[in-house]
Chain A
Amino acid sequence: MAVRGGAVAVTKPEKNKVLAALTSAALGLPGLDSHAATPTTQAEANAQYGYYQESDNRMRVEVYHGDFVIPMSDRLEFTFSVDRDTYSGATPSFSMPEVMANQTKIDQNQNRADVISAASGGVDPTKLAGYQGVMSFKEPFEAYTAIGSQSQQLELNLIQQGTAAITANTDQLLTQYQAANPAPGFPAGWGQTISSAVTIDFQGVNAAVYGKADANTGGFCPGGAGCYQQNGIVVGTITDPLNPDGHLHRQGTIADREIQYHADSSGIYIRELDGKAFRVANMFFNSLQANGSGVNDVWEILGFNSAVNQHLSTGDGANYANRVAYQQVATNHTGILALDSSFSNINALWIHYKGYIQDVTNSGADFELRVDDINLDPAQFANATPEQIAWMQAYSAYQRSLETASASQRQAIIDNAAAQKAAFEKSALISIYRNFLNQVVPPSTRVKQTFQTQPQETRTQPVFGAKYYFDDATLGVSGGQSNEPDFNSNFGSVNFLQEFNNKLTTVSAGYSYTHNDVTRSSGGHSDHHSQDPGHNPAIYPELDESSESNGFNLGLSQVLNKNALLQLSANYTRQSGYLSNPYKYVYVRGEVTAEEYYEMFNSPETVNWSGITNLEIVGIDLFREVRPNLRNQFSFSTRLNQYIPAVDAALHMDYRYFRDDWGIDSHTMEMKWLQKLPFGLTVTPSLRYYSQSQADFFAPYFLAPRADGMYSSDFRLSGYGALSGGVTVAKQFNRGIKLELGMEYYTHQGNLKLGGGGESDYADFSYWMAHAGLNIALSAPGQIFGGGAGDHHHHHNHGASAPAGVMFAHMMNSADDIMVGYRYMYANQSGGMYQGSHAVGDSAVLNYACGTTSCISRPTEMGMHMHMLDLMYAPTDWLNLMLMPQLMDMNMSLEQLPGAVAETAHGAGHESHGLGDTLMVAMVKVFDAPGHHVHAGVGLSAPSGDVGVTLDGRDEPDSELQDYGMQLGSGTWDFKPSLTYTGQIGDWSWGAQLSGTKRLQDRNPSGYALGDMFQATAWGGYSVSTWLSATLRGIYTDQGKIRGAFNRISSSGATVDSPANYGGKFWDVGFGLNLNVPDGAMAGHNFSVEWQQPVADKFNGFQLEREGVLSATWNYAF
């Protein structure tokens, strides 16, 4: 909180007041922004820029700060401050043992990955336990494949052993039947048909079927966990040596399963267990998607007279020696498909998409078929005689009666075998999960830290404060807000300060309250597939939490002797509510057990998430961190300031002890040496050491769940030490201006912890910070500029102020004058689209505004806020030098054009913020006579504004640049000449200016250059009173086209992405008011405001209508 108090180090001209303020100034108490017991005698303002950069291009923060202190009376003072921070970069997200960070995947190049990232697509059983999660790693997958054949063999053996007696009995009875009823000469294979109708409904199918059914008869299928079996019918895919992982998928609901075949296998293959013949009557055949609708885009169904058909994938997909039946199905078939009579006696059925039977996964094909309820009957024999058919029917009826008689017995055996198989698979799979996820982590194993990139984010914090001064006491209150997209904070404080003992002792007490609302921005680790409800079911509610903090502070300051001062303070802060960091994750083993992963794998639909863990699952063994919802913090600090007269320097020694009930205690020691030097310079080297112990619930990773359910791997709660050193240089200028520059380097290391025992070096990092500050005493004798030489305090020329929208219009007339100012400009474009001078409809924009391709979206509103600091100095009476850094703040909303199909990366809009270009101008007096004045300006604009602003705020090769208009600067060095004439007679004033911008470089680092600009303007003004004047102005602007184009990936599809849609010729009228304060406390201040109304436009290309420009300036000259 940068609310400033009376201890502010400014040179106060009134000596006696300094003396009166002595003790209090020196005794200004810390904490709760109480600094002094005497009001500031002068209004003052501060501006500061701070930059923070972590090592390895991690986080970067830019901090802009502005404040002012205004004394309202001898006893009352107001302060106002605004802070604005912009964050970007990467921050640690979680860490894990290295052994889990380096596991081999099963995909083709067998790359290594960390186990957690495998499931980073979202919280979904298949992404945690299935083939996209744990099972996508080589080790568990191979183990799983191995148990597949074992379990099938186990089941088969159990069935064969169990049914051997029944089968023997049946065979004996059938033999007896045949002996009693001799068969009347049959075609070959007649007895080898299935005996009754069967429907394959896939109710018990696994999530994926890797078995290859074409390789052999029997229950065993090579590949994965084998084939799907139902009532003696085997369903799998076919052997393709180029695609060993070819597989079918389970689809449908738990109540009605179906099998899905798409472009990662060579089709569906069906046969009987022992190779018996059958007839396929019909099936449910739903082709959801296929490449196209051409002649070759069909499904092929083949019937074979043998159950085993090898080398299918190397054939043509249609013609094989054993093929006896063939049918094609159109791509868009949905519903029951009846097969023709050629399928009435086959031993195998193969369904596939035409033309894709080999290496399908890599073919780039895109098709999908779902099949269900395949109805099979006993095979039919076309050439049989009526007598043979009658015998066969009687035989089948007898066979069926035998089967019916033993059906329940068989079923019990089959059920038991299936149950044993399932139990075997379950225990085997559980041990696979256990072995894989619970790998031994040796005590000295390294920690792998994972980062998360965060989109650029801005925090804004306005704070208002007031202080009332009693004779020996001060009452201060302050309140403010801090706003971020995902964190809003409201806070207030009150404090009271009492002086005793002839002002040698000061005691203070304070209270502060903070309320925070915490939400979570999307764009994090697990939101990649958030658009797809099938991939990321919203099993956890959006974060919407709050926390609050109550702080109490007691302080004491004591003058020890004429050169030493001691300050002691004690703080107690109680935080409650949601105190976790919503972006930090923890790796916890065993919180989800191997059994629970098995359940996810086995029945993904019925996973009871809250029954598994109270933690929020975000990946494999990865959870959102949880901290206690209460934190009591205590701190005690002492500060000793010692003045050393011999060298005119002061030594500050600070120590703070901190402790909380999370188990953290810390020591902070800091030393500063403030050395006074000639020329108003103060140089302050400083050294700081910090050490903290870790929180009770901190660990880089957790190998077992904690009883209290609290976890954090946030490096800020770890045990470590930090050493930092820096230097600050301040220079006090005459006329109440003070400049300050500082730089500090900070290193965070586990082994710097006091007494050792800190975290290992995985989390070590360092950063540097730099700041530049400007302090202005506003009550230094002021003047109204723009007048003739030597009449600073007579204000004859108050009416001569130029409109707020005109830059470089004033010159100061005497050497050593200094002026500071602030210029704000807001330009808005909204409404309809224009081409040249005419409004155009959406269809014209769609078809013509984006060059050779169709437009997808167009802007609906664009806003640009510019904040400019004006610093002006007159070395002589004919030359003025100006320095103008600026801050840009831009936003744009877009909408999709009616009829456009795709989407753009622009979405509904985006923003950009940051430092703009910096102007440096020299103004030279050309002609000066009473009532008439001409000066020329020679300016140079330095490309300090970023022209690489991306949509995602990152600077990665795949980050798309925002459009030209949203970039923060021109990116080029620009020449900015101007020529200004001003005149005045009595209450009337007037002026004219020609100005231009010439780009000195052909291309900026992003590959383009903005167009050159020329502007002509003329105005007239009338002074309504001594302090108020009104202006009317005409403006003509010619802005050239953009040359070149982005040389890296950028947003596309909107009108603003085309360089042809920039620039034009514009005619505007400006209405302005100027307010000059001729005397009193605010003498020397000038406020101007102007609204610029567009009158006529001639845009280059297609652009959004201009609404107008608001300019406001404040200037203060010394």
Chain B
Amino acid sequence: MLLDNNRIVSLICKGLALSVLTQCFGCSAVSPWERGNLAKEEMAITPHPNREAFRDHIFTSKEASQGGHGGSGGGCGCN
């Protein structure tokens, strides 16, 4: 099991490294004056943060998976 996990970690790390490389070479340099669309609120990583917090809290207490995109606060004994 431990070996299995190690393999996954190493896969994830390799994946991360690979994506960094491909993206940095693959993407064009975006000048500050070209970043208007990126600054739009709908392009924010979490456009509805309170909604996400509420959903994360519910999903975390109804599904086995935790973590990932955002934290979900402290532990809870939710059923």
Contacts and interface: CB of A to CB of B under 8 A. Distances in A.
Given A643-B38, A717-B64, A742-B48, A558 B74 contact: no
Interface in B37-79: 37-51, 53-55, 57-59, 62-79
Contacts of A32: 71
A1022 to B, nearest CB: 42
Contacts of A7: 44-46, 49
A731 interface: no
A328 interface: no
A684 B48 contact: yes
Contacts of A554: 16
B62 A716 contact: yes
Interface string A738-754: 00101010001000000
Given A91-B79, A516-B75, A639-B69, A742 B39 contact: no
Interface in A724-762: 728, 730, 740, 742, 744, 748
Nearest to B38: A26
Contact of B68 (A46, A480, A656): A656
Contact of B12 (A486, A518, A636): A636
Given A48-B54, A692-B65, A87 B79 contact: yes
A624 B47 CA distance: 42
Interface string A475-496: 0000011101011011101000
A514 B45 contact: no
A642 to B, nearest CB: 9
B47 A674 contact: yes
Nearest to B57: A63
Given A26-B44, A568-B16, A716-B64, A31 B38 contact: no
Contacts of B66: 573, 633, 635, 658
Contact of B75 (A547, A650, A695): A547
A664 B65 CA distance: 8
A29 interface: yes
A505 interface: yes
A480 B73 contact: yes
A32 B48 CA distance: 17
Given A558-B23, A664-B64, A742-B51, A9 B71 contact: no
Nearest to A7: B44
A1002 interface: no
B70 to A, nearest CB: 5
A332 interface: no
A54 B71 CA distance: 24
B68 A562 contact: no
Nearest to A663: B1
A463 B73 contact: yes
Nearest to A748: B62
A1115 interface: no
Interface residues of A, number: 131
Given A27-B45, A35-B45, A583 B79 contact: yes
B73 A570 contact: no
Contact of B35 (A26, A482, A583): A26
A634 to B, nearest CB: 6
A556 B41 CA distance: 20
B23 to A, nearest CB: 5
B6 to A, nearest CB: 10
Given A19-B39, A32-B71, A634-B9, A505 B24 contact: yes
A257 interface: no
Contact of B74 (A481, A637, A664): A481
B79 A570 contact: no
Given A482-B74, A637-B69, A664-B65, A22 B39 contact: yes
Contacts of B68: 30-31, 569, 571, 635, 637, 656, 658, 668
A717 B66 CA distance: 12
Interface in A538-573: 547, 549, 551, 553-554, 556-563, 565-573
A454 interface: yes
A570 B5 CA distance: 14
A22 B64 contact: no
A1092 interface: no
Given A29-B45, A645-B37, A559 B30 contact: yes
Contact of B20 (A490, A503, A556): A556
A28 B46 contact: yes
B47 to A, nearest CB: 5
Q: Which of B19, B50, B70, B78 has the most CB of A within 10 A?
A: B50
Interface in A761-806: 767, 769, 771, 773, 775
Q: Which of B4, B12, B16, B41 has the most CB of A within 10 A?
A: B41
A717 B42 CA distance: 35
A556 B27 CA distance: 15
A771 B50 contact: yes
Interface in A1-41: 1-2, 4-5, 7-11, 18-19, 21-23, 25-33, 35
Nearest to A563: B37
A569 B67 CA distance: 10
A313 to B, nearest CB: 52
A504 interface: yes
Q: Which of B5, B48, B71 has the most CB of A within 10 A?
A: B71
A666 interface: yes
B60 to A, nearest CB: 10
A563 B16 contact: no
B73 A487 contact: no
Nearest to A520: B77
Contacts of A482: 73-76
Contact of B30 (A561, A668, A767, A771): A561
Nearest to B56: A1
Nearest to A659: B8
B42 A649 contact: yes
A999 interface: no
A769 B27 contact: no
B74 A514 contact: yes
A490 B76 CA distance: 10
A570 B53 contact: no
A656 B45 contact: no
A461 interface: yes
Contacts of A672: 47
B73 A23 contact: no
A661 B5 contact: yes
Interface of A: 1-2, 4-5, 7-11, 18-19, 21-23, 25-33, 35, 46, 48, 50, 52, 59, 61, 63, 65, 67, 83, 85, 87, 91, 454, 459, 461, 463, 480-482, 484, 486-487, 489-491, 493, 501-505, 512, 514, 516, 518, 547, 549, 551, 553-554, 556-563, 565-573, 581-583, 632-639, 641, 643, 645, 649-650, 652, 654, 656, 658-662, 664, 666, 668, 672, 674, 676, 682, 684, 690, 692, 695, 716-717, 722, 728, 730, 740, 742, 744, 748, 767, 769, 771, 773, 775
25 contacts: A11-B41, A26-B39, A28-B46, A30-B46, A30-B68, A30-B69, A91-B79, A459-B76, A484-B76, A558-B20, A558-B27, A559-B30, A566-B23, A570-B16, A634-B5, A639-B45, A643-B37, A643-B43, A656-B69, A658-B68, A659-B5, A664-B65, A690-B59, A716-B64, A771-B54
Given A484-B77, A581-B79, 11 more contacts: A31-B67, A85-B57, A489-B75, A503-B32, A551-B67, A559-B30, A572-B9, A641-B43, A656-B65, A660-B64, A767-B62
The 5 closest A-B pairs by CB, nearest first: A487-B77, A9-B41, A674-B42, A489-B74, A1-B73
